[in-house]
């Protein structure tokens, strides 16, 4: 588990984050919301991701921190912690709201929280309608250590 460190030595607040390097099943851009692709098991179950394909999908695991140009490329995915790289769908998200995704790989306010619509994060800095000025805190689901 990462430790939150504010020690004044280096002047930086250290925010806890967790990453996993996985295989892309299609092109993914940095900042895209990604989900597990259960249809591909070439490198083992749970080791392949794709851009989110359904609103508030329950298999979303995090945000791409690197890009993948094509299927088979590796992508570094942030699966827990503070994230300022996720791109909003353009509708705006208010701080404190539950965060899910749309079907185009962007963060969005979760609709009705139920068995089929899941939040994977919470908004901690409001997104305006510009799409990239907010911040989220990704829930640690414990999938990758």
| C-beta atoms surrounding 65 within 10 Å | 16
CA-nearest of 20, 34, 28, 17 to 107 is: 34
Identify whether 100 is part of a domain.
Answer: yes
Identify whether 126 is part of a domain.
Answer: yes
Identify whether 7 is part of a domain.
Answer: no
Identify whether 5 is part of a domain.
Answer: no
For residue range 91-126, what is the model confidence (pLDDT) as tens digits? Answer: 889 999 999 988 889 998 887 666 666 889 999 999
Which one is predicted more confidently, 112 or 28? 28
Which tokens go with 143?
């999938």
Identify whether 41 is part of a domain.
Answer: yes
Identify whether 143 is part of a domain.
Answer: no
For residue range 2-21, what is the model confidence (pLDDT) as tens digits? Answer: 555 555 555 566 667 899 99
Grade residue 131 by pLDDT with cuts at 50, 70 and 90. Answer: confident
Q: In total, how many domains does the chain have? A: 1
Identify whether 2 is part of a domain.
Answer: no
Identify whether 114 is part of a domain.
Answer: yes
130 pLDDT higher than 80:
no
For residue range 40-95, what is the model confidence (pLDDT) as tens digits? Answer: 888 888 899 999 988 888 889 999 999 999 999 999 999 999 999 998 888 889 99
Q: Are 44 and 32 in contact (CB under 8 A)?
A: no
What residue ranges in 4-101 does DSSP mark as E strands?
17-24, 33-36, 48-51, 60-64, 74-83, 98-101
- What does the pLDDT read at residue 7? 54
Domain range for 123 is 17-138
Give Dmax over CA atoms of the chain in angstroms: 47
């Amino acid at each position: 588990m990462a430790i939150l460190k504010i020690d004044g030595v280096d002047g930086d607040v250290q925010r806890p984050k967790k990453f996993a390097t996985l295989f892309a099943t299609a092109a993914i851009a940095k900042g895209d919301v990604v989900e597990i692709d259960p249809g591909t098991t070439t490198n083992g179950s749970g080791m392949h991701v794709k851009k989110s394909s359904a609103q508030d999908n329950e298999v979303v695991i995090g945000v791409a921190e690197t890009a993948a140009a094509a299927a088979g490329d590796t992508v570094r995915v942030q699966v827990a912690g503070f994230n300022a790289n996720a791109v909003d769908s353009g509708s705006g998200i208010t701080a404190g709201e539950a965060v899910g995704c749309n079907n185009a790989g962007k963060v969005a306010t979760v609709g009705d929280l139920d068995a089929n619509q899941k939040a994977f994060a919470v908004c901690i800095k409001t997104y305006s309608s510009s799409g990239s000025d907010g911040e989220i805190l990704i829930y640690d689901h414990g999938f990758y250590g």
